[in-house]
Amino acid sequence: MIIVLLGPPGAGKGTQGERLVTRLGVPKVATGDVLRAAVKAGTQLGLEAKGFMDRGDLVPDRVILGIMKEALSSPETAKGVILDGVVRTEAQAEGLATMLKEIKRPLDVVLVFSIDDEELVRRLSGRTTCDSCSTPYMGVAPGTKCPKCGGTLVQRADDAADAVRRRLQVYAAQTEPVIGWFRAHGAKVATVNAVGTLDEVEARALAAIGR
Ligand code: AMP
């Protein structure tokens, strides 16, 4: 089962992706998490990505395609994978389609989490994120210990107001058109209303993938 999660920053892709991991028993790959881990570790990948990420811009397609390739060729994704925020440009969608063709695996569904900008700004400005396991929290102060792993909650640099505005512009300009690209290339695309309780949104996502 290969599922792509699309939607603006703050729509809940990460949180719902985790729930799908539990429900479906397949791992999740989130390029944002891979890149943040690389920044934290100070690797070459992290050094290259950091400036783009802090500004709220997209990291170059070449970098993302490399992460995608590694993820899809890993034995851990042999039974399936949930791709969270991995496809954000048409070039990345084309790259994914080519890789799936090569390994003869179908794309099951693209889930598009839909939500308005006002709610996104409210969510992102009130969000802290664990610097170790990336779990997001609403309304919990920076510096608090993560209840899940003991890491420290921080405000992501790109959740600051300017970067949020930039990320929403980038989403509208570069990622929203990817939805049309998938439709035009015959993929099953399902829209999930992302406003509601976590359980309500999860139920909608499961219904959209026929579970
Ligand atoms: P996220 O955690 O998904 O909000 O991603 C955080 C940041 O990582 C984004 O604002 C981008 O700078 C970068 N990033 C993550 N995934 C991608 C992608 N598929 N293409 C380009 N940049 C990405």
pLDDT in tens, 58-115: 999 999 999 999 999 999 999 999 999 999 999 999 999 999 999 999 999 999 999 9
For residue 122, the model assigns a pLDDT of: 86
Rounded Cα gap, residues 89 and 52, in angstroms: 15
pLDDT given at position 96:
97
Residue ranges of the chain whose pLDDT lies below 70: none
Q: Please give the pLDDT value at position 121.
A: 87
Which residue carries 């989490």 as its tokens?
Answer: 113
Query: What tokens does 175 get?
Result: 């990622």
Q: Please give the structure tokens belonging to residue 107.
A: 């794309």
Taken as a whole, the chain contains a residue count of 211
pLDDT of residue 17: 96
Pocket test for ligand 1, best of 5, 35, 55, 87 (most atoms within 8 A of CB): 35
Residue-level pLDDT at 130: 94
CB-count exposure of residue 118 (10 Å: 0-12, 13-18, 19+):
exposed
The residues facing 196 across adjacent strands are none
pLDDT of residue 135: 92
d(C-alpha 74, C-alpha 8), whole Å:
27
pLDDT of residue 109: 97
pLDDT attached to residue 42: 96
**CA dist., res. 159 & res. 54, Å (int):** 9
Whether ligand 1 lies within 6 angstroms of the CB of 64 is answered as: yes
CB atoms within 10 A of CB 101: 10
**What pLDDT does residue 211 have?**
86
Give nearest CA residue, ligand 1 atom 14: 32
Q: So what's the pLDDT on residue 92?
A: 98
Residue 126, classed as helix, strand or coil, is coil
Q: Which residues contact 8 (CB under 8 A, 6 or more apart)?
A: 113, 115, 117, 120, 167, 168, 171, 175
Pull the structure tokens for residue 70: 């590694």
Ligand 1 pocket check for 52: Cβ under 6 Å: yes
pLDDT of residue 163: 87
